[in-house]
Amino acid sequence: MAATEKKTRQFRAEVRKVLHILTHSLYTNREIFLRELLSNASDALDKLRFYSNRGQTPINPDLPLEIRISVDKDNKTLTVADTGIGMTAEELSENLGTIAQSGSEKFLAELDSQSGDAATQDGDAESARPDAANIIGRFGIGFYAVFMVANKVEVTSRPAVGVSDQAGVWTSDGDGSYSVALSKAAEPVRGTSVKIYLKDDAVEFLEKFRLEAVIRKHSAFLPFPIYVDGNQVNTQPALWREPKFSVTKDQYNAFYKALAYDSKDPLDVLHLSVDAPVQFNALLYIPDTADDFFGMDRDHWGLDLYASRVLIQHHNKDLIPEYLAFLKGMADTEDLPLNISRETLQENAVLRKINQVLVKQVLGHLEKLAGDDAEKYNSFWRLHGKIFKLGYHDYPNRERIAGLLRFHSSTLPEPEALTSFDDYMGRAAEGQKTFWYVSAPNREAARLSPYMDIFRKKGIEVLYLFEPIDEFVMEGLGSYKEWNFKPVEKATDDILAAFADKDAEQQSVARLSEEDRTSFDALVARIKEILGDKVTEVRVSRRLADSPAVLVSPDGAMTSSMEKLFKVMHKDDSVPVKILEVNQDHPLLRNMLRIFKADKEDKSLSQIVQGLFDSTLLLDGYIKEPQSLANRSIALLEEAAGWYAEVRKF
């Protein structure tokens, strides 16, 4: 834009919405506006230092890197000025108006979900709002928080690099529009000055003690001096560079909260000082809250990278693999040149080495935690297991990661209890070399799966997989300590035969006579005839105990849960044609045999076969025509009720 005259522009719709919420409904926790301004000032100073380190000379190179806050009580204004990188008039317009990124949308969505949570918890949606103000900085829209306390804001900025007469001034009263013009003022000589015209109910921020308290609370760890009326307020060191023994738990926690925009203490902290094969210090936190890495927080991970205490990059993703995305913190190395360009970071050998050391250290830490404090480890798992599982891709560390995986299981009495592979092995019978698993949406569905009958009967433990990715994890791992993984539905005939032989004595139902067995074979053929193309085959099952029938995929086919996943992916809504296995000891099948023996063509027999098939489809998760299914089942019930009335002589 040609910034010779003043131009007024409208904020985008999402920004207007954010502003509206900020100015109208957030009254608590307003003090965080200062944290946001100071964090922007600090970022701007970081950027300037970064450019200087790369050999560029800023204007007024002798000016110290600092932040100054001043108040004017008469005019009720508060000014936050930095000597950082600054913005041109175009950048002012871009950064503080037109480009709201997707941040505002994400913020609004988060706000919605928080209000929802609060409403269900205590019926008071407003109670979620203070936290909402607190998290605004996470979404790249922190600047707008200033409108919680301001009637009007004036941002004057002089870029540190390039043409120094390009200073601009951005003005807005926060309700719908902003304007940008060239600044005639001589100040700032470099960097950005944010002048806030305080609302009448926000004049508390003219008080020095109040400002200092807010800075100590939220911005104590910023790496540049902050002055309030000439006195430096922040004096905290870079915590990750301090010797471990000298840092208190409170310091660790306070640092975390400032870093992660979290109101909760972290679950755990890992403070490292490494000299070989690469020198670095790292401070890593495991949060006690989970980010949604499969949704909104997809790109919101990585560690802050420092070179000799100078911030090189926020959210660097080369320092840790994605499956450790839950970690928050920083790594600081002396083995990187200060003038490194961000573009060349990716292939950097130093980062690769740090990454490798961090992975080993974090895995070691988690192993120790799992051993020392299973309860805490399980909390970690419930929060971050979903992303950590992706570690099955990390081939060299596969075995260690497998050892850290946790699953629900058929033999654990508590629904929330978790087991490791090692614990499972400890409980298994002599000779077992397979981890059996079943995929299901939840515990109840897993328990009721017909494939589980034989496992339950034999007391063989089965791991419950509740997330689609779990099967990929099992397949990806291939084996663990020479045990393999198998879904229960893939229990082949020979395996099932071995199970069955073990307790052939304990048959609770009388075996079929030789003659009946022949009739049953004929019944099986008749069932196939009735179902026609809906099944590939009908056969007598070895795996069923309590269920009358089950659908089975042919050998070598993928499991039914994988199949469903693929069908969703390919928008395929056809019903797969499978093998129907029937339980010849089930009362339903025994009664069907009685009917069949009396009349092979009996009409209700085919109704029952249809109904039985419907229910197996239902259990397998496929129901295409609920209408006709309901009709069939009503017809059956009608008949059954008639017979019942007849038999009981009502």
List residues near ligand ADP by CB under 6 A. 36, 40-41, 43-44, 82, 84-87, 95-96, 140-143, 192
Judged by CB under 5 A, the number of residues near Mg ion is 2
Rounded Cα distance between 448 and 619, Å, is: 9
Beta carbon of residue 141, minimum distance to Mg ion (angstroms, whole number): 8
Beta carbon of residue 246, minimum distance to ligand ADP (angstroms, whole number): 31
Rounded Cα distance between 634 and 469, Å, is: 38
Nearer to Mg ion, 142 or 287 (CB): 142
* Piece of 35-43, 152-160, 221-229, 576-584 that binds Mg ion (CB under 5 A): 35-43
Distance of CA 156 to the CA centre of its chain: 39
Q: For strand 434-439 and strand 483-487, is the pairing parallel, antiparallel, or unpaired? A: parallel
Q: Is 221 exposed, middle or buried (0-12, 13-18, 19+ CB in 10 A)?
A: middle
* Piece of 32-40, 274-282, 311-319, 514-522 that binds Mg ion (CB under 5 A): 32-40
Distance of CA 278 to the CA centre of its chain: 31
85 binds, among ligand ADP, Mg ion, none (CB under 5 to 8 A by kind): ligand ADP
Nearer to Mg ion, 39 or 449 (CB): 39
The residue count of the chain comes to: 650
Rounded Cα distance between 245 and 448, Å, is: 53
Nearer to Mg ion, 87 or 619 (CB): 87
Nearer to Mg ion, 40 or 553 (CB): 40
Nearer to ligand ADP, 144 or 464 (CB): 144
Among 58, 86, 97, 142, binds Mg ion (CB under 5 A): 142
Q: Is 469 exposed, middle or buried (0-12, 13-18, 19+ CB in 10 A)?
A: middle
Q: For strand 310-316 and strand 303-307, is the pairing parallel, antiparallel, or unpaired? A: antiparallel
377 Cβ contact list (under 8 Å, min separation 6): 366, 369, 370
Beta carbon of residue 139, minimum distance to ligand ADP (angstroms, whole number): 7
Nearer to Mg ion, 104 or 281 (CB): 104
Beta carbon of residue 91, minimum distance to ligand ADP (angstroms, whole number): 7
Beta carbon of residue 36, minimum distance to Mg ion (angstroms, whole number): 5
Beta carbon of residue 320, minimum distance to ligand ADP (angstroms, whole number): 21
Rounded Cα distance between 181 and 9, Å, is: 11
* Piece of 39-47, 104-112, 226-234, 353-361 that binds Mg ion (CB under 5 A): 39-47
Beta carbon of residue 292, minimum distance to Mg ion (angstroms, whole number): 21
Instruction: Report the 10 Å Cβ neighbour count for 70.
Output: 15
Nearer to ligand ADP, 32 or 580 (CB): 32
Nearer to ligand ADP, 38 or 460 (CB): 38
Nearer to Mg ion, 140 or 611 (CB): 140
331 binds, among ligand ADP, Mg ion, none (CB under 5 to 8 A by kind): none
Do 127 and 118 contact (CB within 8 A), yes or no? Answer: yes
Beta carbon of residue 142, minimum distance to Mg ion (angstroms, whole number): 4
Rounded Cα distance between 91 and 85, Å, is: 11
Nearer to ligand ADP, 155 or 282 (CB): 155
The dihedral region occupied by 299, where left means phi > 0, alpha psi between -120 and 50, and beta the remainder, is: alpha
* Piece of 73-81, 138-146, 285-293, 409-417 that binds Mg ion (CB under 5 A): 138-146
Beta carbon of residue 177, minimum distance to ligand ADP (angstroms, whole number): 17
Positive/negative CA dihedral, 370, 375, 381, 383 = negative
> Both ends of the chain: CA-CA distance in Å?
91
- Give the helix/strand (H/E) hosting 408: strand 408-409
149 binds, among Mg ion, ligand ADP, none (CB under 5 to 8 A by kind): none
449 binds, among ligand ADP, Mg ion, none (CB under 5 to 8 A by kind): none
Nearer to ligand ADP, 79 or 95 (CB): 95
268 binds, among ligand ADP, Mg ion, none (CB under 5 to 8 A by kind): none
Beta carbon of residue 40, minimum distance to ligand ADP (angstroms, whole number): 3
Instruction: Report the 10 Å Cβ neighbour count for 519.
Output: 16
* Beta strands, E only, 212-360: 226-228, 231-232, 268-274, 280-286, 303-307, 310-316, 328-333
44 binds, among Mg ion, ligand ADP, none (CB under 5 to 8 A by kind): ligand ADP
Q: Does 266 bind Mg ion (CB under 5 A)?
A: no
Do 130 and 25 contact (CB within 8 A), yes or no? Answer: no
Site of tokens 């890593």? 284
Nearer to ligand ADP, 138 or 586 (CB): 138
Rounded Cα distance between 542 and 493, Å, is: 7
Beta carbon of residue 212, minimum distance to ligand ADP (angstroms, whole number): 20
Closest residue to Mg ion in the complex (CB): 142
Nearer to ligand ADP, 96 or 454 (CB): 96
351 binds, among Mg ion, ligand ADP, none (CB under 5 to 8 A by kind): none
96 binds, among ligand ADP, Mg ion, none (CB under 5 to 8 A by kind): ligand ADP
* Piece of 142-150, 182-190, 519-527, 636-644 that binds Mg ion (CB under 5 A): 142-150
Do 8 and 178 contact (CB within 8 A), yes or no? Answer: yes
543 Cβ contact list (under 8 Å, min separation 6): 450, 451, 453, 454, 491, 496, 550, 581
Among 40, 166, 171, 313, binds Mg ion (CB under 5 A): 40
Rounded Cα distance between 500 and 495, Å, is: 9
Rounded Cα distance between 311 and 83, Å, is: 16
107 binds, among ligand ADP, Mg ion, none (CB under 5 to 8 A by kind): none
605 binds, among ligand ADP, Mg ion, none (CB under 5 to 8 A by kind): none
Beta carbon of residue 462, minimum distance to Mg ion (angstroms, whole number): 50
Nearer to ligand ADP, 96 or 153 (CB): 96
Nearer to Mg ion, 84 or 142 (CB): 142
Residue type, 219: S
Alpha-carbon separation of residue 593 from 490, 548, 599, 643 (angstroms): 28, 13, 10, 18
Cα angle, residue 475 at apex, residues 469 and 478 outer, rounded to 5°: 140
Beta carbon of residue 82, minimum distance to ligand ADP (angstroms, whole number): 5
* Piece of 136-144, 283-291, 315-323, 498-506 that binds Mg ion (CB under 5 A): 136-144
* Beta strands, E only, 416-458: 434-439
Do 171 and 154 contact (CB within 8 A), yes or no? Answer: yes
Distance of CA 408 to the CA centre of its chain: 19
Residues that bind Mg ion in the complex, under the rule CB under 5 A: 40, 142
